[in-house]
Amino acid sequence: MKNLKILLVDDEVEFVTTLAERLRLREFQTEISADGEEALNLFDASVFDVIVLDVFMPGMSGFDVLKELKKRSSNIPVILLTGHGATEEGVEGMSLGAFDYLMKPIDIEELTEKINAAVKGNK
């Protein structure tokens, strides 16, 4: 699906900027945030189709942001990004309401498939 609006949240600015550019090349609209507070402010100010959220960030963790997002809009699909081999974090995120998770480093094709699946509502 093209022209979906995606919020990318990751404290690694170079990573999230590059990811946004790669998604734009695939005709997604992207906004980026480097921390949880900013992400919640962007979420409140705009409408997103999917949120891609890093688990480990300073300040508010991805889990904290996920919990707050689910309080505000239980139907927003959230895809978590976790570190190498961090399956436990992905499983915990799913129990908190995440749609799915990906391990870093991410494969852009796999991410776009998960984004499209999240919008369609199936895994």
Which residues, other chains included, contact 82 with Cβ-Cβ below 8 Å and sequence gap of 6+?
Answer: 55, 56, 89, 90, 93, 101, 102, 103, 104
Report how many domains make up the chain.
1
State the Cα–Cα distance between residues 57 and 64, nearest whole angstrom. Answer: 10
Whether the link from the prior residue into 105 is cis, omega within 30° of 0, is yes
State the Cα–Cα distance between residues 101 and 98, nearest whole angstrom. Answer: 7
Residue 103 pairs in a beta bridge with 82
Residue-number span of the structural domain to which 64 is assigned = 5-120
User: Which burial class, exposed, middle or buried, applies to 65 when counting CB atoms under 10 A from its CB (0-12, 13-18, 19+)?
Assistant: buried
CATH of the domain at 83: 3.40.50.2300
Tens of pLDDT, residues 66-77: 999 999 988 999
State the Cα–Cα distance between residues 32 and 54, nearest whole angstrom. Answer: 12
Tens of pLDDT, residues 45-88: 999 999 999 999 999 999 999 999 999 988 999 999 987 666 78
Three-state SS for 103? strand
